[in-house]
Structure 1
Amino acid sequence: MTHELSRGVMLISIDTEMAWGAVHHGSPNRYHWPEERDVLRSLLDILDEYDVPATWATVGHLFLEGCENVEGDVHPEIARPDYPWLAQDWFEDDPCAPATEDSRWYAPDLVREILERRTRHEVASHGFSHLIVGDPGCSAEVFDSELAAARAAAEPYDVELRSFVYPRNSIGHQDVLRRHGYIAYRGVRPDLFGSIHGRLRPLARVGDLLIPTPRSVVRPVLEGDLWNFPATVMYGADLHQGRARLWQWQHRRRLRHAARHGGLFHVWFHPHNLQPDPANALRGLESLCRLAAELRSEGRLETLTFGGLADLLGHHESEHAT
């Protein structure tokens, strides 16, 4: 069931995964990890300046101060996926070392910094090791063990994992999420123009990029007792291609559109998406946060985390579900 909102809501979800995002999907060495930490801290400064909270979808392994390989056994508490495209063990690249020796695979310093900032962010789960959940090779039992390991890794920080972001946006096994007490996840952007047939469909989509229509308002979806907060846009994909001004214009317009029609503006990205041109990317995000703060002060928008929005909707779902 889609859910009406009394005013617009801005969500920011940040896939915080370091080298785990590249394992089995490319070389973990192709990213510049020290620069990613710098970008992340600059981003935290911007969010503090405008009091805009984010949902930091964090790979559980990053919480660890280190891990060990005991007689060839790496994280035996986690069942292995059976992906036809994967010949080696899922944890083959895990360095099994103290965090101080390999900061690509561990980031307890970043977790602590997020939690200690003035702005009340939410630390959410991105799995323990970035498993591709929607792939048939990831069974419910494998996902169950992955969620249990992520929760155990978060416990020393007194972090209650309530929200989930699927790695690679590969969605599956929502029933397992429910069993582990999750209340919300990031869904994919719905096809709001799917009912338009023929040549008019691409024209409608292009036109909506320039002048958003009420038809393209994105709203939360209640799936049983689990909230699906669909993404609106990925930030940073085109910034290094000379399209930054167009992107910022389009999505400032989209943010105002959400405020006008009581919709979601849900922007997501990885910190490394900002690295090709960090100064420009951070300026764009600051522009969005500034506009969000202005709309919030006018009473037209709320800036929330997944958990904050789920808590808010939990009080009103029976009144507005359609």
Structure 2
Amino acid sequence: MPGIFTVSLDLELYWGVRDARSIASYESNLRGERDAIRGMLQLFDEHAVHATWATLGFLFYKDADELRRNLPEVLPDYRRQQLSSYRYLQEHAWNTADDPYHFAPEMVELIRDYDGQEIGTHTFSHYYCLEDGQTLEAFRADLKAALAAARSHGIPIASLVFPRNQSNQEYLAVLDELGIACYRGNENAAFYTPRNQREQNLIVRASRLLDSYINLSGYHTYALEDCARSRPFNIPSSRFLRPYSRSLAPLEGLRLRRIKRAMLDAATGGRLFHLWWHPHNFGANTARNLACLAEVLGYYGYLRERFGMQSLNMGEVANLLEDMHAGQA
């Protein structure tokens, strides 16, 4: 079986960083995000790369008034209330006539117009599954609202990405219950273990940063037989595509080599490599970030020609795993 190159993106606009940054402090990224998305789509199209856009349910609505009419009945009661996007929605009023930060139905439609691009879900509200105070019932309600938002655009949802990679094993049954076939799990290393925000200490963050440049934890490529063992299917992350950093620019070669070596391992071993990032990561230094992506996709093209590597989005991988799962039964 040929290796598989999978790409997923966490499309969330300001909702994804709202509890950590002000709009003013992150405005260049947010303002540039739409142009970055257009550039990514063009590159995916040029290189015949399929991708999953795990899209926050809030983004499907045109403004705050429409969103407020479609909130779930059960809301999370986080112990740290600043984590709640619902609380933010209640406490803030903003000009919806020109709002690049909170809503993007036109971008959802643009993405779905491109071949091979899958719209997945990133929950409705950027729901945190490991934070104190939230519950299984609230998660189910949030996810139902996300699916309803997508259905209002005629989009079925098969794939999920947990916000902040807080995958909660106790919640997987809800995905299966609601018809979600797969999710993006975490790399198998101690510093990638799912954690809540309080547990994201300096050592954990520094280890992940260093691992982006130096191979501390392995290639994180995966045998499809392992991914196919149980539903919903775990299609784990292999590597976060970190955005360009001026302070780390001298290490760019190491960052790309780290990614390419893992891709090569997947291509030659018939395994899966899963690359991910947030579109807003590319909103600043957009040209440099797109150039880096172009090099990664160009390398995928080489691996496709040399070893037959395939590009599949998460939903397409799940279809393949479903066939394998049936064969394992």
Unaligned runs of 5+ in 2: 193-206
> In structure 1, what is the equivalent of residue 129 of structure 2?
133
Q: Does 1:258 align with 2:258?
A: no
Give, in angstroms, the shift of residue 37 of structure 1. 0.8
Indicate if the aligned counterparts of 1:20 and 1:28 stay in contact, CA closer than 8 A: no
Whether contact under 8 Å (2:32, 2:283) holds in the other structure is yes
SS in 1 for 2:65: coil
State how many pairs are aligned. Answer: 302
What is the rounded CA distance, in whole Å, between the counterparts of 1:18 and 1:168 in structure 2? Answer: 14
Following TM superposition, by how much is the alpha carbon of 1:131 offset from its aligned partner in structure 2, in angstroms?
Answer: 1.1
Computing the radius of gyration from Cα coordinates, the structure with the larger value is 1
One-letter identity of the residue aligned with 1:189: E
Corresponding residue for residue 225 of structure 1: 231
Residue 236 in structure 1 maps to residue 242 in structure 2: yes
Matched with 2:312 is 304
Task: Check whether the contact 2:244–2:288 (CA below 8 A) recurs between aligned residues.
Answer: no
User: Partner of 1:82: helix, strand, or coil?
Assistant: coil
Which letter does structure 2 place at the counterpart of 1:219? A
Task: Say if 1:184 and 1:229, in contact at 8 Å, map to a contact too.
Answer: yes
Indicate if the aligned counterparts of 1:74 and 1:91 stay in contact, CA closer than 8 A. no
Q: 1:280 to 1:149 in 2, by over 3 A?
A: same
After superposition, residues 110-259 of structure 1 pair within 5 angstroms as 110-117=107-114, 119-172=115-168, 173-191=171-189, 209=214, 217-220=221-224, 221-222=227-228, 224-237=230-243, 239-240=245-246, 241-242=248-249, 243-259=251-267
Question: CA, structure 1 residues 28+295, in 2 after alignment: closer, same or farther (shift >3 Å)?
Answer: same
Give the match for residue 57 of structure 1: 54
Give, in whole Å, the separation in 1 of the partners of 2:84 and 2:263: 43
Structure (1/2) with the larger helix percentage:
2
Contact 2:220–2:273 under 8 Å retained in 1 = no
Q: How far apart in 2 are the matches of 1:180 and 1:13?
A: 21
Letter in 2 for 1:85: R
Determine if contact 2:244/2:289 at 8 Å carries over to the other structure: no
User: What is the TM-score of this pair, normalised by structure 2?
Assistant: 0.82
Distance 1:86 1:111, change over 3 A: same
> Which residue number in structure 2 is paired with residue 269 of structure 1?
277
Give deviations 1:118-144, integer Å, cap 9, x for gaps. x22100000111010222422111111
Distance 1:219 1:157 in 2: 35
Q: CA deviation at 1:30?
A: 2.6
Residue 26 of structure 1 deviates from its aligned partner by: 2.7
Displacement of 1:158 in angstroms is 1.3
Report the equivalent of 2:15: 20
Task: Decide whether aligned partners of structure 1 residues 276 and 314 sit closer, same or farther in structure 2, where only a CA change above 3 A counts.
Answer: same
Of 74-83 and 308-317, the range deviating more from structure 2: 74-83
SS at match of 2:120: strand
The 10-residue stretch of structure 1 (148-157 or 309-318) with the greater mean CA deviation from structure 2 = 309-318
Q: Deviations over 1:16-39 (max 9, x none)?
A: 000110222332443232211111
Contact 2:19–2:83 (Cα < 8 Å) also in 1: no
Show the counterpart of 1:199: none
Identity %: 28
TM-score (norm 1): 0.84
- Cα distance in 2 for partners of 1:187, 1:145 equals 21
Return the offset for 1:309: 0.6
Residues 138-176 of structure 1: per-residue CA shift (max 9 Å, x gap): 211111111111111111321101100000000121111
Of the structure 1 ranges 312-321 and 247-256, higher mean CA displacement relative to structure 2 is found in 312-321
Q: 1:227-286 CA distances to partner (integer Å, 9 max, x unpaired)?
A: 101101110256442122221122112111110112221111011222443222111111
In structure 2, relative to structure 1, the CA distance for the partners of 1:69 and 1:278 (3 Å cut) is closer
Q: 1:87 to 1:219 in 2, by over 3 A?
A: same
Cα RMSD for the two superposed structures: 3.0
Structure 1: distance between partners of 2:155 and 2:289: 29
Please report how far the alpha carbon of residue 292 of structure 1 lies from its aligned counterpart in structure 2 after TM superposition.
1.2
Which residue number corresponds to residue 10 of structure 1?
5
